[in-house]
Amino acid sequence: MTVKKKFNSFDELLAGSDLPVLVDFYATWCGPCKMMTPILEQVNEQMKDKLRIVKIDTDKYPHLASKYNIHALPTLVLFKNGQPADKIEGVIEGAQLVQRLGSLIN
């Protein structure tokens, strides 16, 4: 299950994490984004000790979408040590995502 938390800034969220952070850039009106929700919950269950998953609504935080060049939704960005390490645009299957993330965070 995902947990909603508030942070003063996105940079604070990244800096305060001792684990890599997978950010799901989405919009509430985006159909494919809704398809990613159960996939991300599945990935979270499998990788909760190795990874944090955070959802960012691009309509509420357009400056973050712009800063990280988010042009398609959904877009997943993996941050390691506060820096983008990988970007995935579009819907991806859970098993594929776990495999891709595993190779980057292990």
What is the pLDDT, as a whole number, of residue 15?
86
The string of DSSP codes covering 31-56 is HHHHHHHHHHHHHHHHHTTT-EEEEE
pLDDT of 10: 87
Q: Please give the Cα distance from 13 to 28 (Å, whole number).
A: 22
What are the boundaries of each domain within the chain? 10-105
- Predicted confidence at residue 17, as pLDDT, reads 86
Domain 10-105 has CATH 3.40.30.10: yes
Q: What is the mean pLDDT of each run of 10 residues along the chain (106 residues)?
A: 62 88 96 96 94 94 94 96 94 95 88
The DSSP 8-state label assigned to residue 60 in this structure reads: T
Helix axes 31-47, 94-105, angle to 10 degrees: 50
Distances (CA, A) of 67 to 19, 54, 58, 63, 71: 22, 17, 11, 6, 11
Bridge partner list, 53: 22
pLDDT of residue 12: 85
| Catalytic residue set | 30, 33
pLDDT at res. 1? 42
pLDDT at position 3: 52
